[in-house]
């Protein structure tokens, strides 16, 4: 089951202190079923300006909302640790600027990311079209193994909706994305979005590790045609330089 326990990470913030008593106490806590060390995952938010990326992060990290959010310049960094199914997951979040003049900087932030949240505004058709482009860009990049979630933000503005959620949900299904309608203003599905990502991250990470395992090296000993002794010759399938 998903746990509602969540804590901000960082020096001096709740949830960042070590277990009292050192390693023995930590081992005892682990034996008692307490969560272990948090796994950290780089996460990036992408989307047009004014779709609510910063508001989503603020809602997730501090559970607050401001009508007067300043425009992000370049990128802003946040971190938060949550507990899901007894595991601690630390999100290291890069909230990128949505203005077109900063688009060329985006690859620097999503390169090596374990997860990406692509955000669009349900009251803006163009923002949805741009979100689709971001998804394609992520899938073509070296971060194509990342968990990608599509967030249909501003779900509270039903009367102004321009993008049909069913169409976006189908797009997400066709492209292997997580999908949720969210509202940074009301908090709708914001925590749930990151919980869904957190549950997907370990299995994605494990799969990537398996795919990166080096090929096995084989050694074949041969003799000369007369059956006499001969120095061993190596017939190797060089998937790697060998184990260290």
Residue 203 dihedral angles phi and psi, to the nearest 5°:
-70, -35
Q: What is the pLDDT of residues 65-108, one digit of tens each?
A: 999 888 888 799 999 999 999 999 999 999 999 887 788 899 99
Residue 214, C-beta contacts closer than 8 angstroms, at least 6 positions apart? 239, 240
Query: What three-state secondary structure class fits 182?
Result: coil
pLDDT at 55: 97
> pLDDT tens digits, residue range 210-230?
555 555 343 444 444 444 444
How confident is the model at residue 2, as a pLDDT?
44
- What per-residue confidence (pLDDT) applies to 214? 54
- How would you class 15 by CB atoms within 10 Å of its CB: exposed for 0-12, middle for 13-18, buried for 19 or more? middle
Angle between helices 53-62 and 190-211 (to 10 degrees): 90
Residue 34 has pLDDT above 60, yes or no: no
Task: Decide: 188 and 151 in contact? Cβ < 8 Å.
Answer: no
Distances (CA, A) of 233 to 32, 36, 222, 227, 230: 54, 48, 6, 15, 9
Statement: residue 52 has pLDDT above 80: yes
The number of angstroms, rounded, from the C-alpha of 101 to the middle of its chain's C-alpha atoms is 25
Q: How far apart are CA 88 and CA 82, in angstroms?
A: 6
Helices marked H in 175-189: none
Domain ranges within the chain, ordered by starting residue: 39-203
C-alpha 9/C-alpha 81 separation (Å) is 6
Query: Parallel, antiparallel, or unpaired for β 147-153 and 115-121?
Result: parallel
Determine the Cα–Cα distance for residues 58 and 66; give it in Å rounded to an integer: 9
CB of 58 closer than 8 Å to CB of 184: yes
User: Strand order of the sheet with strand 87-96?
Assistant: 2-8, 75-84, 87-96, 39-46, 115-121, 147-153, 178-181
Q: What angle do CA 100, 156, 152 make, to 5 degrees?
A: 45
Average pLDDT (26-30) is 47
pLDDT over 50 (residue 63):
yes
* Architecture per CATH, 39-203: 3-Layer(aba) Sandwich (3.40)
pTM for the structure as a whole: 0.72
């Amino acid at each position: 089951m998903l746990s509602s326990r969540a804590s901000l990470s960082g020096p001096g913030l709740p949830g960042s202190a070590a277990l009292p008593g050192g390693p023995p106490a930590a081992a005892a806590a682990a034996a008692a079923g307490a969560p272990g060390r948090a796994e950290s995952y780089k996460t990036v938010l992408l989307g047009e300006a004014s779709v609510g990326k910063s508001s989503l992060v603020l809602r997730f990290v501090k559970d607050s909302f401001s009508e007067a959010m300043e425009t992000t310049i370049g990128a802003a960094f946040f971190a938060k640790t949550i507990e899901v199914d007894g595991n601690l997951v630390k999100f290291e979040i890069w909230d990128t600027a949505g203005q077109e003049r900063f688009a060329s900087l985006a690859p620097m932030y999503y390169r090596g990311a374990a997860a990406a949240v692509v955000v669009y505004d349900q009251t803006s058709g163009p923002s949805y079209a741009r979100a689709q482009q971001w998804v394609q860009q992520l899938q073509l990049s070296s971060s194509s193994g990342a968990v990608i979630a599509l967030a249909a933000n501003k779900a509270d503005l039903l009367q102004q909706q321009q993008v049909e959620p069913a169409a976006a949900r189908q797009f997400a299904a066709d492209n292997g994305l997580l999908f949720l309608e969210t509202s940074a203003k009301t908090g709708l599905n914001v925590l749930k979005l990151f919980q869904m990502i957190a549950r997907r991250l370990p299995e994605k990470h494990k799969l990537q590790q398996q795919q990166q395992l080096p090929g096995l090296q084989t050694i074949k000993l041969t003799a000369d045609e007369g059956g006499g002794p001969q120095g061993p010759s190596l017939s190797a399938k060089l998937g790697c330089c060998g184990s260290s």
